[in-house]
Structure 1
Amino acid sequence: MVAPSKLFGYPISHIPCANIVHSQPNQSCTQALLWNLYRNHVSSAKYYLPTLVLMPLILNWRRLSKRRLWSTVRNYLDTMFFASTMNALTLYLICAWRRLNRRFVYLCTPFLSCYLAAQINWLAPPKVVQFFVTGMTHAAMEAVLRQMNAGLVRSRPAQTLLFMLSSLLVLRQQQKRIYSGFWFIKPDQMPLDYSKWPILRRLKQASLELCTYLGMGLIMDLFNALMRGNLKKFKIKSTSFIVTYMGIYKLVQVLVAGKLELNQTNLLAAFLSGASYGLFSHIPISYMCFAVVIAIQALYQQLCKVDATHNKRLAALQPIPWAKLLIPPAMAYLTNCMFYEQHVLSGLAKSFIDDTCDNNVRRIYTIINQPVEAILKIAQAGPKTNFLF
């Protein structure tokens, strides 16, 4: 197999970009860009349709309105456009750097190219930016942990503790109506007289709420099987986790109500219910990384609402667009790993990158990891256009 360093040594480094980067024969770099823009939109449309359109509409069908429908469709189109454009520009910049340096350079293939292409996120709507920064940063966190072979990757108790703390922080912010973004569960607000309810009434209320999450989990597992294209792979992984998570939360509320104040009961339930992460071996470390990222976002939202009139440092910190600053390096790092160290990436990260760019990254990865002789044969196999315009 070709080590990544060999790709940047003579003679492989001097192979025209058309033989490696372009997805179609006899294309110039600009023609390849236009082709990739078209193909990326097709693949991104398929990839994001279940997540950003079908699932939100099914889960919110009772509250469906023209305004909500248009907002969902617009968010889907915006996300598809920016993902497709970012991926196409990354490959185009790899070609441009190849032409400028007259060879492939490690920093530019693809880290710097992707970093520059991801600057398009400054033009993206807030919802799209939030979607990308959440997906990119938690995937990058997991990849860094795996690349460093950190002990956290092998310690399920430590992961569970972090998830429990994140659960406590996020659900606390939900109860205070500071954070309203995505989380695994969103318990209903309990009435002030909840502690006076008979236990049977509490159990009935908890059962009704659990039924809702049972349906949500089944829908998520069904969509997961459909995205894989095989209903035989339908498993209730998400359902078991979400129902257990919510079940522990409600059980703590039912048993502790009246012994503690309502706020303290909710905090205890939020923390203990996070232990559901450690009860299932099939729950990946991605859930823990995702939980940590969401917890940081929730805390930062609270920080941004603090009055900073008399605090110059806080006033300077609040307007910094961290999301837009984090997307380019996180995306560049993940794409670089996708080219050379795919073993550190989660399956979600791989699909997030590859399935939105018409499998171009997977194709390039396959080419550059072939034996030297095979790559040289590809370079000599017929004429291929090799110019920018």
Structure 2
Amino acid sequence: MVAPSKLFGYPMSHVHCGNIIHSLPNQSCTQALLWNIYRNHVSSAKYYLPTLVLMPLLLNCRRLTKRRLWSTARNYLETTFFASIMNALSFYLICVFRRLNGRFVYLCTPGLSNYLAALINWWAPPKVLQFFSTGITHAAMEAVLREMNAGLVRSRPAQTVLFMLSSLVVLRQQQKHLYSGFWFIKPSSMTLDYSKWPLLRRLKQASLELATYFGMGFTIDLFSVLMSLKLKKLRLKSTSFIVTYIGLYKIVQVLFAGVLEMKHLNLLAAFVSGASYGLFSHVPFSYMCFAVVIAIQALYKELCKVDVSHNKRLAALLSMPWAKLLIPPTSAYLANCMFYKQHLLSGLAKSFMDDTCDKNVNRIYTLIQLPLETIFNKTKGGPQPKFFF
């Protein structure tokens, strides 16, 4: 926090935004906005390609239709567009507030600027809203817990219990067909006569499902290595976690089929399998935060199906656009952490924010740490940067 604090002290606070915020030398603020819109589309397209295109198509390769292909492409393009515009507007508004105040102000750099830019998500489609709200909210939850130095951050057993409870909630909602969004596993439904199957048949069915999830986990790990271009560092981290997760689930089903009712058997399997979180030290704290957010979303979807015609307060509560309301403040908080408290953020949160805006945040963060003379001489000998036009 020491180096970035220079930005708000004289004479650094009065340095032209072109020397710090703009991506290229001698750009006006408007030119920098247009450049950032272009570059952010390029960087966001690269960042979201594996998550929103390659993985969905690979996992659904046997069920591909024109409608599914178009839905995937449309979601990818819309997510890239809204992320790019939001990031570009954030930097532009920093320039605007720099101009209005005559100096860099902590409230506007980048907190308020990012908050106002994130309001564009009020016009985003539902899928884009859910994607952003899930990703941003769980990253903000993790950062807040780290900033508070909460005991949960240091207690692996407590994290595991929370993950197990979240696993119970989400998988229960999956089985009731009340939640169809992303989760780490999606066990196949058991037939009504599953308890009458011989043990060998149950084991065979479990083995086939394990093989499927091994392929999914290996694909995720392989994509991660290919994107980082470090083939020698292939580690089956996602594979081990996912296979263990589904493995514990199937073991409970195989062993207790016939002992418990189908409903109770699935609940027990969903809870016990969540213990896979605590079996691997490489599973990050982010997974638990993500699981809690998904569990809350799943419960909220069930709550939305409740008849509220005789309960005005609950009706008003459910009518609130929570995703649209949550994205601006959580995004502003994460942007503020990215500028001044990067140690609070997970690696995933840092890459999500920096890689989608052409690595401008780390460029500014690094530049602020340079000696004042270097920044003041950045445009010395050439035309001075312009404001706006």
Under TM normalisation by the shorter chain, which class is it?
Answer: over 0.9
Query: In the alignment, does 2:5 pair up with 1:5?
Result: yes
In 2: Cα distance, 1:140 partner to 1:371 partner: 32
Q: Which residue of 2 aligns with 1:59?
A: 59
Deviations 1:290-344, CA, capped at 9 Å, x for gaps: 0000000000001111111111111111111111111111111111111111111
CA shift for structure 1 position 284: 0.4
In 2: Cα distance, 1:21 partner to 1:109 partner: 10
Structure 2's unaligned 5+ residue stretches are: none
After superposition, residues 86-101 of structure 1 pair within 5 angstroms as 86-101=86-101
Query: In the alignment, does 2:194 pair up with 1:194?
Result: yes
| Contact 2:164–2:273 (CA under 8 A) maintained in structure 1 | yes
In 2: Cα distance, 1:162 partner to 1:312 partner: 32
Q: Which residue of 2 aligns with 1:370?
A: 370
CA shift for structure 1 position 7: 1.4
Q: How many equivalent residue pairs?
A: 389
CA shift for structure 1 position 379: 6.4
What secondary structure sits across from 2:378 in the alignment?
helix
Shift >2 Å, 4+ stretches = 1-6, 369-384
CA shift for structure 1 position 382: 4.1
In 2: Cα distance, 1:34 partner to 1:106 partner: 25
Query: In the alignment, does 2:297 pair up with 1:289?
Result: no
Paired-residue identity, %: 77
Q: Which residue of 2 aligns with 1:150?
A: 150
What secondary structure sits across from 1:378 in the alignment?
coil
Structure 1's unaligned 5+ residue stretches are: none
In 2: Cα distance, 1:267 partner to 1:315 partner: 30
What secondary structure sits across from 2:307 in the alignment?
coil
| Contact 2:26–2:379 (CA under 8 A) maintained in structure 1 | no
Q: CA RMSD in A?
A: 1.2
- TM-score normalized by structure 1? 0.98
CA shift for structure 1 position 56: 0.6
Query: In the alignment, does 2:140 pair up with 1:140?
Result: yes
CA shift for structure 1 position 75: 0.5
Residue type matched to 2:162 in 1?
L
Cα pair distance change 1:231/1:34, threshold 3 Å: same
In 2: Cα distance, 1:93 partner to 1:7 partner: 16
Residue type matched to 2:65 in 1?
S
Query: In the alignment, does 2:225 pair up with 1:225?
Result: yes
Cα pair distance change 1:296/1:381, threshold 3 Å: farther
In 1: Cα distance, 2:160 partner to 2:372 partner: 45
What secondary structure sits across from 2:306 in the alignment?
coil
Residue type matched to 2:228 in 1?
R
Deviations 1:96-155, CA, capped at 9 Å, x for gaps: 000000000000000000000000101111000010001000011111111121111111
| Contact 2:13–2:104 (CA under 8 A) maintained in structure 1 | yes
In 2: Cα distance, 1:381 partner to 1:296 partner: 57
Query: In the alignment, does 2:184 pair up with 1:184?
Result: yes
Q: Which residue of 1 aligns with 2:85?
A: 85
Residue type matched to 2:370 in 1?
Q
- TM-score normalized by structure 2? 0.98
